[in-house]
Structure 1
Amino acid sequence: MPSTLNRVTLALSLSLAASLAAAYQLAAAPAAAVLEGEAQTLSLSGAKPGERITLRLNRRADLPGMGPSLLRAEAIFQADAQGRIDTSRQAPLSGSYGGIDASGLFWSALPVRGGPAPAAATDADGTRLQLEAWGQDAAGAPKSLAEQTLHWLPAQARIESRTAEPLPGAQLLLPRVHAAKLPVVIVLGGSEGGSLMSRRLAEALAARGFAALALPYYSPPRWGAQGPMAPELPALPASFARIELGQLETARDWLRQQPEVDASRIALWGASKGAEFVLAGASRIAGFKGVVAVVPSDVIWEGFDMMQGAMAQPSFSWHGEALAFVPYKGYQEEVAGFMSGQPVRLRRPHDAGRAAQPERASAARIEVEKIAAPLLLIAGSDDQVWDSGGMARAIASRRAAAELPTELLVFEGAGHGIIGLGTLPTTLNNAGPMKMGGQAAADAKAQQQGWVRTLIFLREVLR
């Protein structure tokens, strides 16, 4: 009898322990592990109806000027009548963000000052994030209720790459598994220069079934912890002046020689100065199936140098010929803020230069009416780098008059920092002297919806 009683007691104890352990359960949909850039919805079940629970999300990131940092967002929710919390349908009572937003805990994180880096870090296996649920014990002290590790799988695991020999720093990214010849997207970053932005976006596209050519075209001196550093790609121009648009022809011709690529299906993707590049290039080079221009310009602007400032030369040239451009007004005074610590809003010298010389703005207009292919324009209404919202609307208006296919997405309250997959919190977009404009929530919405719409657009025009 004692033996039987002990077994029963042990079984009941284990059952009770398992029940208590399983009472609070965190989950992510569609899964805890997703390809980087895919949206996740967070939820908790097993709470008491009406119970207040804090959801906290931690991750590590390498931040410019700060190095490895712990990022954290948290919000207090009230469980519904079924004892559930679902970030896609419930607003927090308080916390890092407000309103119903399934991605709120991802974009609203801030660096934790003096905090240790979490055990789950970004590495070759991707990015790990730690989701925690906290309540209170009987004495009102914080009490851990549940934990769940989330995983953003890296695009690199799904792709292969090779150098595009005639183009310094360029890389062709291909999905590891593919049957037929692939449509291809030529990807250009912005005035940050180097290869990072174009490479990351091209990797994301290749992981989703496209061939993608990451095409850096400008590589300025860099800044490190010890001060100025050499350019990443010394073979490329270090000043943003008279960048040759004909590089798109070279890229197109090289792609025609690649056995995996269907060169009859090429699209362009460009952001910021890269959007200026692809629009100006596509207006002169026929044959592209579609163009995505994120925070675009409708004119060619004056060139610049990171060290010397404005250069009284155009940003771009065509077959060696300098293009008409809009000069800045007050550029040197504006960028002096980087040294003094004052806010730098590059939109001011852009707007002032355009207003002061409207005849030059007219001469520098990109002839978007000559682009027969469909255009997708993505911009923010509060862009403080340049007026991408107004310029995108001007492009769309001229193309509408020419009855050309154009899709326009201008996100109200968003700024210039709406490029990419949303892997870093948008709370950091205006953290330094350089002001991108926009509100963090609006920027996050623009990133998420713009990326989804970009994939749909590219699949439609390249099918």
Structure 2
Amino acid sequence: MTTLRTIAALGAFAAFTAAAEPVIRIEPGPVVLDGNAIHLSIAGVPPRSEVTLSAQRWFAPVSTQRPRPRLFRSEAVFKADDDGRVDLRTAPSLRGTYVGADPRGPFWSMQPLAGVERAEPGSVDTSEVRFELHIATKQQATSRVRLVPSLPEVLTIAVDSLPGAVFATLPGTKKRPAIVVIGGSEGGSLVTTAAAPLASHGFAVLALPVFSPPDSRTGTREIPALPAEWADMPVETLDRARAWLATRPEVDSKRIALHGTSMGALLVLLGAAHLEWPAAVVASVPSDLVWDGWGPGVELGTRSTFSLRGKPLPFVPLVGYEEELKGFERQEPVILRRTFEQGRAKYPDRVAPARVPVERIRVPLLVIGADDDQMWPSGAMARNIVESRKAAGLQTEALIFRDAGHSLYDTGYAPTTTYNTGLRKTGGTPEANARAQAEAWTRTIEFLRRALGGTP
């Protein structure tokens, strides 16, 4: 008995000693699917002491320019509780790159480190985040987590019959609900980066590029088989995606949703209003109106962005677009939102004919808008969609973020501090953008699972 008591006492002492060692805990780490919740905490530091937690990551934002990764860093100072612990879900950062309680703060508040050269693509692990804990100037602990964009078992293939398209799904014999994902006016293959992350949540995903504009620097086009302009684009373009998905044995062709961002959101809303097969719709930073088309050889104000059954849809022309773009030459902020607001104000008689008939959408609909969107007024336009459907007795699931901007398609765990550093403004504060991204990502997955009847 004495021996057992001695062993128990030694074990308790060892546990106390281990707990007293400073440690950074990451749950459920060390590898997390990006977008899933991460719980950061600190333990084993002197009670009521000030501690500094820093985070560092090589990061390259998703962009048509394919930028080389830069080294980003965040720092936050906390006061430990009476037990020598800091729980980032509740403990406020006293100072640093962010303040207040925010479990994602160390991730989104990272800023580029000055004087550090960009890395070559593939030479650094952009998924890894490294943490350091300091008391005064002494390092006490380190830890790391990898934010993987998708599960390793996701199968991804190129779709030869749909130029630039990518299909992604988890393995298995059960039929899965599918999502057709459409990107915005950036065009090209950028939208295909969304396929594997969404597929990691149990969906079969077809990411479909619909146009490929010339590169602003070189004039070359990434996907020459696609249109160079966004003008008179057939809404029936979506039918090609459905037809291909219907041939796949792993897809339940009766459960195909549409997901669009920005101009892609306008396309999926039109598709859901005029086509019979969509089972659910997600429209992120959408428009409630059709606007004029653009691209090489397209004179502004002369062509619609979309057509239906071979006929151009009514549209509202932008006003002041070319003058707004001169801001790049003058080194002044470029705020494209103004051209949409000015067009709506100048042509009130064209608004009603150009409106998307959202009351015709009889399947579950999620709209996501942002009031500080500086690309176009997606917050106000999302509200218009909700109100039009309400007047028709239809419900709409809506997320409208007051202080966020246009760039909502991410998970809330990537740096958001550089969104508005260039001349082209997208809007939102770094904190508001990250919060909106996190909620929008989670709610989108939940909505699609619910609307499509779950996943295998």
Q: Give TM-score, length-normalised by structure 2.
A: 0.91
CA offsets 1:179-207 (integer angstroms, 9 cap, x no match): 410100000111111122x2222211111
- Report the Cα offset of residue 266 of structure 1: 0.5
Letter paired with 1:371: I
CA offsets 1:210-250 (integer angstroms, 9 cap, x no match): 00000100111225xxx325121111111221222111111
Aligned with residue 47 of structure 1, among 45, 49, 66: 45
| In structure 2, C-alpha distance between the alignment counterparts of 1:115 and 1:20, rounded to whole Å | 37
- Residue of structure 2 equivalent to 1:59: 57
- Report the Cα offset of residue 311 of structure 1: 5.4
SS at the partner of 1:426?
Answer: coil
Task: Choose 97-106 or 416-425, whichever is displaced more.
Answer: 416-425
Aligned with residue 210 of structure 1, among 178, 203, 212: 203
- Residue of structure 1 equivalent to 2:155: 160
State whether residues 334 and 344 of structure 1, in contact with CA within 8 Å, keep that contact through their aligned partners in structure 2: yes
Query: What is the number of equivalent residue pairs in this alignment?
Result: 438
Letter paired with 2:38: Q
Residues 24 and 252 of structure 1, relative CA distance in 2, 3 Å threshold: same
| In structure 2, C-alpha distance between the alignment counterparts of 1:20 and 1:172, rounded to whole Å | 48
State whether residues 183 and 261 of structure 2, in contact with CA within 8 Å, keep that contact through their aligned partners in structure 1: yes
| In structure 1, C-alpha distance between the alignment counterparts of 2:91 and 2:161, rounded to whole Å | 53
Aligned with residue 407 of structure 1, among 383, 393, 397: 397
Aligned with residue 212 of structure 2, among 196, 216, 219: 219
Letter paired with 1:291: V
| In structure 2, C-alpha distance between the alignment counterparts of 1:265 and 1:21, rounded to whole Å | 51
State whether residues 374 and 461 of structure 1, in contact with CA within 8 Å, keep that contact through their aligned partners in structure 2: yes
CA offsets 1:343-369 (integer angstroms, 9 cap, x no match): 011010100000000111111000001
- Report the Cα offset of residue 156 of structure 1: 5.8
Residues 433 and 327 of structure 1, relative CA distance in 2, 3 Å threshold: same
CA offsets 1:247-273 (integer angstroms, 9 cap, x no match): 111111221111111000010100100
SS at the partner of 1:314?
Answer: coil
- Residue of structure 2 equivalent to 1:354: 344
- Report the Cα offset of residue 117 of structure 1: 6.7
- Residue of structure 2 equivalent to 1:133: 133
Say yes or no: does 1:336 pair with 2:326.
yes
> Which of the two has greater strand per residue?
1
- Residue of structure 1 equivalent to 2:6: none
Residues 81 and 385 of structure 1, relative CA distance in 2, 3 Å threshold: same
SS at the partner of 2:188?
Answer: coil
Letter paired with 1:79: A
Q: Identity of aligned pairs, percent? A: 41
- Residue of structure 2 equivalent to 1:35: 33
State whether residues 374 and 404 of structure 1, in contact with CA within 8 Å, keep that contact through their aligned partners in structure 2: no
Letter paired with 1:199: T
- Residue of structure 2 equivalent to 1:371: 361
Residues 21 and 232 of structure 1, relative CA distance in 2, 3 Å threshold: farther
Residues 33 and 118 of structure 1, relative CA distance in 2, 3 Å threshold: farther
- Residue of structure 1 equivalent to 2:73: 72
* 1:187-266 equivalent positions in 2, closer than 5 A: 187-196=181-190, 198-223=191-216, 227-266=217-256
Letter paired with 2:287: S
Residues 388 and 256 of structure 1, relative CA distance in 2, 3 Å threshold: same
- Residue of structure 2 equivalent to 1:139: none
State whether residues 166 and 250 of structure 1, in contact with CA within 8 Å, keep that contact through their aligned partners in structure 2: no
Task: Choose 96-105 or 336-345, whichever is displaced more.
Answer: 336-345
Letter paired with 2:236: G
- Report the Cα offset of residue 116 of structure 1: 5.9
- Report the Cα offset of residue 21 of structure 1: 10
- Residue of structure 2 equivalent to 1:441: 431
State whether residues 68 and 119 of structure 2, in contact with CA within 8 Å, keep that contact through their aligned partners in structure 1: no
- Residue of structure 2 equivalent to 1:7: none
- Residue of structure 2 equivalent to 1:113: 114
Say yes or no: does 1:284 pair with 2:261.
no
- Residue of structure 2 equivalent to 1:174: 169
Letter paired with 1:135: I
Task: Choose 445-454 or 413-422, whichever is displaced more.
Answer: 413-422
| In structure 1, C-alpha distance between the alignment counterparts of 2:343 and 2:361, rounded to whole Å | 27
- Report the Cα offset of residue 372 of structure 1: 0.7
| In structure 2, C-alpha distance between the alignment counterparts of 1:309 and 1:341, rounded to whole Å | 25
State whether residues 124 and 154 of structure 1, in contact with CA within 8 Å, keep that contact through their aligned partners in structure 2: no
State whether residues 58 and 118 of structure 1, in contact with CA within 8 Å, keep that contact through their aligned partners in structure 2: no
| In structure 1, C-alpha distance between the alignment counterparts of 2:95 and 2:165, rounded to whole Å | 46
| In structure 2, C-alpha distance between the alignment counterparts of 1:211 and 1:42, rounded to whole Å | 32
Task: Choose 286-295 or 153-162, whichever is displaced more.
Answer: 153-162
| In structure 1, C-alpha distance between the alignment counterparts of 2:239 and 2:138, rounded to whole Å | 61
Letter paired with 1:134: H
Aligned with residue 311 of structure 2, among 315, 321, 332: 321
Aligned with residue 185 of structure 1, among 166, 171, 179: 179
- Report the Cα offset of residue 126 of structure 1: 6.5
- Residue of structure 1 equivalent to 2:140: 145
Unaligned 5+ residue runs, structure 2? Answer: 1-9
| In structure 1, C-alpha distance between the alignment counterparts of 2:201 and 2:339, rounded to whole Å | 39
State whether residues 47 and 81 of structure 2, in contact with CA within 8 Å, keep that contact through their aligned partners in structure 1: yes
SS at the partner of 1:389?
Answer: helix
Runs of 4+ in 1 over 4 A off after TM superposition: 18-22, 63-66, 116-119, 121-126, 306-309
State whether residues 69 and 119 of structure 2, in contact with CA within 8 Å, keep that contact through their aligned partners in structure 1: no
Letter paired with 1:89: T
- Report the Cα offset of residue 389 of structure 1: 0.7
State whether residues 282 and 288 of structure 1, in contact with CA within 8 Å, keep that contact through their aligned partners in structure 2: yes
Unaligned 5+ residue runs, structure 1? Answer: 1-11, 137-141
- Report the Cα offset of residue 161 of structure 1: 2.1
| In structure 1, C-alpha distance between the alignment counterparts of 2:427 and 2:27, rounded to whole Å | 31
